[in-house]
Amino acid sequence: MRRDSAVDGDGGDRIRRTCVFLGPTLALAEARARLPGATFLPPAAQGDVHAACAGKPWALVIVDGVFDQRLAVWHKEILWALAQGIRVYGAASMGALRAAELAAFGMIGVGEVFQGFAGGALEDDDEVAVAVAADGGGGEAGRHRATSEAMVNVRATLARAVAEGAIAAVDGEALVGVGKRLFYPERSLAAILASARAAAERSAPVVTEGALAALEAWLGPDPRARVVDQKRLDAEAVLDRVRADARASDGGPRPPSFRFAYTEAWHELRSTLETAGATTPVAIATTEPAAVATAATGAVGAAVAGAADVEDDRRLLQAVRGVLGRAAPAELAELWREAEARALAVALARAAGVTVDAARLQAASEAFRRARALMSPAATHAWMREAGLDVERWSAMIHDQLLAEEGRRLVPEDDTLAQLAALLRARGRFAELASEARRLLAEAPPSEP
């Protein structure tokens, strides 16, 4: 058996089989100096991780990702990578968000921003979002320039100002609040100072003019020299971590800690990406074509794992049905009728060939979270644990909810009205309701032809 060359040297072969999704967070030249030989790609969008997997990398590193310009990188494609034994690291920006959400599945989070999201101190996507100007185009990583300041950098900078005695802690907290209220593309230290002064002019001061002047004096003529660029620091840290792991003797493929469920939603996403041409493999230099773990990978292995999960779920759900039937038979009867109606709607939608694209699935997932005030990864994970859901089952639940909505729309309204009449007659309510309806119709003004 050939030995892993990365163990004998500087990890160069593993690094050459590493893809880094990078944008404005770190200069490309600096990133290449820290991780020479790696493949650097633009910020990750939906489908990009899936495409990179085709090149059988040793590791994927997500630093930057798109937010509102295109669909964001999907959790499922990261799980797909992890299920194949590929190391997936996240830090600084979109990578920190996804790492906090998927740490339980083996994604490796690095840095202060990741820790903030994972621990619940940070909750909103706009903590890391920045406005970006593309410099030069060409699709290469690093050709992006931030034109606003990330909220995590604002927090770190104001914390430094407080620590160095430039402003009081209460003023620092107040200015964090001012920054948080600004729309992320407009956020900067200058904008925060201007907004605080505008509030004072409206007789609603949040910080004294003395504190603002003290902060300006501390920032000096070159504010960038004072800014704590936490995102950049975390990006540097994750590249250093990858380099260290590549050199380590235990840096081989990581067996997945979960069984990847090859769901209908995942199948539809892959079909959509293939149709759109978004699955062109990323060419990755490698001298170890068999280095990626093969346990539970590929459609066949994933489908087998998914079948086992379904059987386990069925036994549990049958038991849940029995418990509810004994405790609240009327509630079970009502829920069962609703579940049957939903199942029929989903079946009708599938029979009609209805599909749910990735954009609708993501939008519905976000709406579901907002409706339940699940505005942070920590809150979402707590809710999912209580509901007995993992990321796979969450996606399937949202997917079927959308299919049910589409299936109900396929039923003609006249057919539904006929069934409503039949139910009312069977329950002895139709005559009474029809009498009142006829009276109202007789009193209504004639409708125009």
Residue 172 has pLDDT above 80, yes or no: yes
Does some domain include residue 269? Answer: no
Task: Report whether 242 contacts 37 (CB < 8 A).
Answer: no
Does some domain include residue 448? Answer: no
Task: Give residue 3's pLDDT band: very low, low, confident or very high (50, 70, 90).
Answer: very low
Same domain for 154 and 141: no
Tokens (6 digits) for 232: 């950049």
Same domain for 237 and 221: no
Tokens (6 digits) for 197: 């002064």
Same domain for 383 and 307: yes
List, for residues 351-385, the tens digit of each pLDDT value. Answer: 888 887 766 777 788 888 888 888 776 777 778 87
Range of the domain at 175: 150-225
Same domain for 365 and 309: yes
Tally of domains in the chain: 4
Same domain for 392 and 251: no
Which of 201-215, 232-246, 345-359, 375-389 is the most confident on average?
A: 232-246
Residue 43 has pLDDT above 80, yes or no: yes
Same domain for 396 and 430: no
- pLDDT value of position 282: 53
- pLDDT value of position 304: 33
Q: 385: how many CB neighbours lie within 10 A of its CB? A: 11
Does some domain include residue 66? Answer: yes
Using DSSP bridges, classify how beta strands 132-134 and 144-146 pair: parallel, antiparallel or unpaired.
antiparallel
Least confident of 148-162, 256-270, 316-330: 256-270
CA end-to-end distance (rounded Å), the chain: 85
Q: 33: how many CB neighbours lie within 10 A of its CB? A: 10
Give the predicted TM-score (pTM) of the model. 0.65
Cβ-in-10-Å burial (0-12, 13-18, 19+) of 154 comes to: buried
Same domain for 128 and 160: no
Q: Mean pLDDT of all residues in the chain?
A: 81
CA distance 356 to 402: 7
- pLDDT value of position 224: 85
Same domain for 188 and 49: no
Does some domain include residue 65? Answer: yes
* Among 269, 266, 264, residue whose Cα is nearest residue 400: 264
Same domain for 175 and 70: no
Cβ-in-10-Å burial (0-12, 13-18, 19+) of 137 comes to: exposed
- The backbone region for 255, taken as left when phi is positive above 0, alpha when psi lies in -120 to 50, beta otherwise, is beta
Does some domain include residue 265? Answer: no
Q: 184: how many CB neighbours lie within 10 A of its CB? A: 21
Does some domain include residue 277? Answer: no
Task: Give residue 49's pLDDT band: very low, low, confident or very high (50, 70, 90).
Answer: very high
Task: Give residue 392's pLDDT band: very low, low, confident or very high (50, 70, 90).
Answer: low
Same domain for 318 and 395: yes
Bridge partner residues of 21 (DSSP): 41, 62
Alpha helices for 125-168 (secondary structure H): 151-163
Q: What are phi and psi of 72, to 5 degrees?
A: -70, 160
How many residues in total does the chain contain?
Answer: 449
B/e letters for 431-448, b = 16+ CB within 10 Å, e = fewer, are eeeeeeeeeeeeeeeeee
- The backbone region for 266, taken as left when phi is positive above 0, alpha when psi lies in -120 to 50, beta otherwise, is alpha
- pLDDT value of position 251: 67
Tokens (6 digits) for 77: 């494609």
List, for residues 103-143, the tens digit of each pLDDT value. Answer: 988 999 999 999 999 998 998 888 999 988 765 444 455 56
- pLDDT value of position 448: 56
SS (H, E, C) 170-199: HHHHHHHHHHHHCCHHHCCHHHHHHHHHHH
Bridge partner residues of 65 (DSSP): 44
Crossing angle (nearest 10°) for helices 391-410 and 358-371:
100
Does some domain include residue 268? Answer: no
- pLDDT value of position 108: 95
- pLDDT value of position 8: 41
Does some domain include residue 219? Answer: yes
Proportion of the chain above pLDDT 70, given as a percent: 82
Q: How far is CA 109 from CA 101, 383, 417, in A?
A: 10, 22, 54
Same domain for 382 and 363: yes
CA distance 261 to 396: 10
> Hunting for tokens 């994927």 — which residue is that?
60
- pLDDT value of position 134: 63
Same domain for 138 and 187: no
List, for residues 279-309, the tens digit of each pLDDT value. Answer: 444 545 433 333 333 333 333 333 333 434 4
Crossing angle (nearest 10°) for helices 377-387 and 94-102:
20
Task: Give residue 255's pLDDT band: very low, low, confident or very high (50, 70, 90).
Answer: confident
CA distance 306 to 312: 10
